[in-house]
Amino acid sequence: PAVHALPIAAPYAFHAHAKDFLYKPSWEPNPGEGWFASRGGAHLRGTVVGHGVVPLAYCIEVLRNSGYEGWLSYEFEGMEENIPAIKAGYQVLRTLLEK
């Protein structure tokens, strides 16, 4: 998984995006609209930050420990209603960043 590359890449980061995904393994059928296939055949769908499988607390910790002090842009690309989804994800990020 890409998360294993984060400690290697983090010291070189100059901008970061926070986003989250729902995940279905490759052996399950494609869930349909809004889902896309990864290179490994798994199915992903964007969702509210904090509602998916991305280990956000770990990612933020790795960025901090690498000395990253740049922007963290919140990127929402889910199927949920935009404004409530963005507000919910923003609260998750604030909580994680205030730790």
Residue at 53 is within a domain: yes
Q: How many domains does the chain have?
A: 1
pLDDT at 2: 80
The answer to the question of residue 29 being in a domain is: no
Rounded-to-integer distance, Cα 25 and Cα 50, Å: 19
User: Is 23 inside any structural domain?
Assistant: no
Q: Average pLDDT of 22-30?
A: 96
CA distances from 84 to 8, 9, 48, 81, 91 (A): 34, 32, 9, 6, 11
* 84 in any annotated domain: yes
Domain that holds residue 82: 2-17+47-97
**Residue 52 neighbours by CB distance under 10 Å:** 18
Look at residue 22 and tell me if it is in a domain. Answer: no
Per-residue pLDDT band for 1 (boundaries 50, 70, 90) equals: low
